[in-house]
Amino acid sequence: MRLSLSRSAAIACFSAISLAAGLSSVSTATLCAADAKAPAKVDYAGNLARVPATDPAVKDAPALSPAVVGKHPRLLFTDAEIEKLKTAIASDPLLKEASDASIAVAKRAKPGKERPLGIFLNDTPALAGSNGSTVQLAYAYALTKDAAILANIKEWLTVLLEQEHWADTAELDSNMGAACNMLMAGALYDAAYNELEPEFRARFAAKLLLHARRMHYLGHKQLSLMPIKYWQQDPQPNHRWYRARGLAACVLPIADEAGLDTAYLRAELKKEMDFLIKWYPHDGDCHEGAGYQVFGFRSLVDASGMMDRCMGTSYLKAPGFANAWAQQMYYWLPGRGSNIGFGDDMNGSAPFGYDEAAFFISPAISRDKNVQAGLMRRYKMKAVRKDGRPYVPTWALMAYYDPTVGEGDYKALPLHRLFADLSAATMRDSWETDSVVFTFKCGPYGGFGLNHYRQTVNPDGKQQYINVAHDDPDANSFALGKGEHFIFHPGFYSFRKLTSLNNTVIVDGKGQKNEGSDYTQPIPGIDMRTISYLTGWKPAADKSGRVIIEGETGAAYINGLTRFRRTAAWMPSEYVLLLDDIRAPEPREITWLAAAERAKFEKPEEGLCYAYTKKGGRVDFQMLATRPLDGAIDYCFMDGRFGSALIHQFQFTARSDAVKYACLIDAWGKKPRMTLTEAGDVVTLVVKSEAFTDTWTWTPAKDNTTPSTLECKRAGATLISLTEKDKAPLGD
């Protein structure tokens, strides 16, 4: 049962304000209710009074690169880059289609007649319009020098010039919408610079400086009267990346403009970008999920590219940019056309959009042909509309896709990948549409890098606030997709972040610390890296593709566990084995959970069950344990901001101070069966099918950081083993 958007729209009261519930004594619900009654009044004078008349003097402010001084365009591209793009367009059909479509759009892309335009009143139109569409006029004009496009650019610049506030909201001139409008303003000004009337150009340059200063002081310096500072406290919120890009887009085109003193802003912009890149994970991952990675990545790419081009920095050489593609590809379920992601990933199947194009920057940097091939295949699969309307390639391909990389073989991409910063991994049996994809995660809210920042950035040792609003209480969770089906459901962008909505365990009905809110908050007083982390990681040395991964998160539970060790063995084309060693200081009600579109018990006396979907997907599994289990299939309301689902949930409950679960997942229909024998603390599992008999020896870990010992033997030979030495990396 799939619930459509309307319910979620009714549920959702989403405002930027609510993102920072933890920073405010006012509840999100209260704020939302107040918002619904009347828009917050904007104290224009009070806010603007906080923007000083002049900036501090700065010695040795970073300067523009000599190569771009006095030259335009230089922000998103230079003339030389446009010439290269023209060459690429001439030889690449996809770029040709994208550029033709973009030029056609640009010729008719005039501002609407209403005043003020919606882009100045709300983030969403600014995101879709200024950031998603209008900025393409810069490319279209640079490619064609078309008079109609230039006229449209001038109309847009005039509207921007006449509009007092680029974000007429409580977060005056410093919200995400303002940042998008700043991108558009800087990009169009820079692209048309040489054709603008000198007087108009000077007025517009001053306008860019005005908004750069407002963004800097009200936003980055946190002087806005809006009390909630939800994006300034750490380096990773996409909100902050948008503001950095907006600031760069306004400062860099005017940095050599006569009569404008930008020295202080240049210095502050450089400082901000140094900070963001310093803390950008080497994996290029997003702890909020692959969906939010799409939303934020492009702005950081753009900001870095602008800086590298104009100020000679080398931000785009930070390893995260070359690696960022991986979260998109490895959390991709090709048969379903969606992600199978975690956190606030909606796991939907929208057509390929302008923000997604930015991931082509990864192979453009690394020159990895196989990555390019993988991304291109994914693009082609997403370049369709379900309603049959024709799909038009996004203009943004021109900005990030480099056809000179060439396409290698997507099948050569490894079939598993560890995301050490997230303490997560995915495994798959192929990149084809019938692939089986298994995901596993046991990381702290925010990932390791962000928590390192939280724990170390303040000299007095005080924990720094970090924004983990889009993270789930999902340590030691898994999901399984097969073909077009979510077999074990990964969840949606939930407004009630509960452990019970993830495929992990709950204890006495409760989940992991700080569960239950609409936007998750960091756990006070606890170094979150110490309560959820990977312990083991062992890909097989041969080419079998087998992998063992293991996580520990007992201490994350509200009703504390002394151990919750989950070990997953990925045996591609044969089965997946999921082993849990759960211990508590006293008897608890421990419930193992797995959500499925539909759930069925087949032979409870042998532990046999299956998960299935209405469209015909089915995966059988067997559940055994070292304690008596109560089995239940209950409803599970998987709520989502953009659509919910009423599905089923397997629940296996033991009442004990110690229990071990063994779950054998028959993802490939090989009909294996398992027996479990416990002797002392050592468990022996025999997994038998017509094709193989595997004997697993599972010895619990000696402590909460050392891996368990796990060995699989078939016909006397060891297929794969996890030893105490196979420790997973903690962070990237």
Give the binding site for other proteins (CB under 8 A).
Answer: 1-4, 6-7, 10-11, 29, 495-496, 598-601, 604-608, 623-637, 639, 646, 648, 651-653, 656, 658, 662, 674-681, 684, 686
In angstroms, give the least distance from the CB of 599 to other proteins.
6
Spatial contact of 53 and 288, defined as CB atoms under 8 Å apart: no
d(CA 339, CA 292): 11
Nearest distance in Å: CB 348, other proteins: 17
Q: By C-alpha distance, which of 603, 607, 557 is closest to 582?
A: 557
Q: What is the DSSP secondary structure assignment for residue 528, as one 8-state letter?
A: G
Judged by beta carbon, residue 314 or residue 684, the one nearer other proteins is 684
Closest C-alpha among 276, 281, 273, 283 to residue 313: 273
Tokens coding 61: 């402010």
Instruction: Give 189-253 as a 3 state SS string.
Output: HHHHHHHCCHHHHHHHHHHHHHHHHHHHHHHHCCCCCCCCCCCCCCCCCHHHHHHHHHHHHHHHH
Q: What's the distance, CA 11 to chain centroid? A: 23
- Length of the chain, in residues: 732
Minimum Å gap between C-beta 617 and other proteins is: 15
Residue 517 or 559 with smaller CB distance to other proteins = 517
- Closer CB to other proteins, 376 or 676, in the complex: 676
> Is 111 or 631 the residue whose CB approaches other proteins more closely?
631
How do beta strands 618-625 and 563-571 pair? unpaired
Rounded Cα gap, residues 489 and 291, in angstroms: 16
Residue 11 or 101 having the CB closest to other proteins: 11
State in angstroms the smallest separation of the CB of 717 from other proteins: 23
Please state the closest distance from residue 289 (CB atom) to other proteins, in A.
Answer: 21
Nearer to other proteins, 144 or 695 (CB): 695
In angstroms, the Cα distances linking 368 to 163, 319, 372, 407 are 45, 14, 6, 8
Closest CA to 193 of 266, 133, 138: 138
634 vs 703, which CB is nearer to other proteins? 634
CA distance 5 to 350: 14
Nearer residue to other proteins within complex by CB, 460 or 605: 605
Give CA–CA dist 65/311, Å, rounded.
5
Contact 455, 545 (CB under 8 A): no
Measure the CA–CA gap between 583 and 559, rounded to whole angstroms. 11
CB of 635 to other proteins, least distance (A): 4
The total of other beta-carbon atoms located within 10 Å of residue 11's CB is 15
Judge residue 428's burial from the number of C-beta atoms within 10 Å of its C-beta, 0-12 exposed, 13-18 middle, 19 or more buried. buried
Which residue, 71 or 600, is less far from other proteins as judged by CB? 600
Q: Which residue has the tokens 């070359």?
A: 322
Question: Closest distance between other proteins and the C-beta of residue 73, in Å?
Answer: 46
Quick one: tokens of 415? Answer: 């079939």
| Least spacing, CB of residue 650 vs other proteins, in Å | 10
User: Taking the complex as a whole, how short is the minimal distance between the CB of residue 614 and other proteins, in angstroms?
Assistant: 9
Cβ distance to other proteins smaller for residue 283 or 515:
515
> In this complex, which beta carbon is closest to other proteins, that of residue 412 or of residue 646?
646
Reference 620, options 632, 637, 603, 605; nearest CA is: 603
Q: Which of residues 115 and 496 has its CB atom nearest to other proteins in the complex?
A: 496
Neighbours of 596 (CB within 10 A): 28
Nearest distance from residue 488's CB to other proteins, in Å? 16
Distances (CA, A) of 414 to 283, 291, 417, 426, 430: 16, 22, 7, 11, 9
- The first and second tokens of residue 123, run together, are 């983030």
Toward other proteins, which CB reaches closer, 386 or 543? 386
Instruction: Specify the residue, 2 or 411, whose C-beta has the smaller distance to other proteins.
Output: 2
Minimum Å gap between C-beta 13 and other proteins is 12
Buried/exposed code over 148-179 (b: 16+ C-beta within 10 A; e: otherwise): bbbebbbebbebbeebebbbbbbbbbbbbbbb
CB 606 to other proteins: min, Å: 6
CB of 603 to other proteins, least distance (A): 8
Rounded to whole angstroms, how far apart are CA atoms 89 and 98? 9
Least Å distance between CB 660 and other proteins?
Answer: 9
Nearer Cβ to other proteins (26/104): 26
Q: Which of 160/625 has CB closer to other proteins?
A: 625
**Contact criterion met (CB below 8 Å) for 505 and 589:** no
53 CB-near residues (< 8 Å, 6+ apart): none
Starting at the edge strand found earlier in the chain, the sheet holding 485-488 runs: 416-419, 424-428, 436-441, 477-482, 485-488
Q: Tell the smallest beta-carbon distance from residue 705 to other proteins (Å).
A: 23
- Minimum distance, C-beta of residue 642 to other proteins, in the bound complex (Å): 15
**CA 248: distance to chain centroid?**
23
Strand-pairing partners, residue 481, are: 437, 486
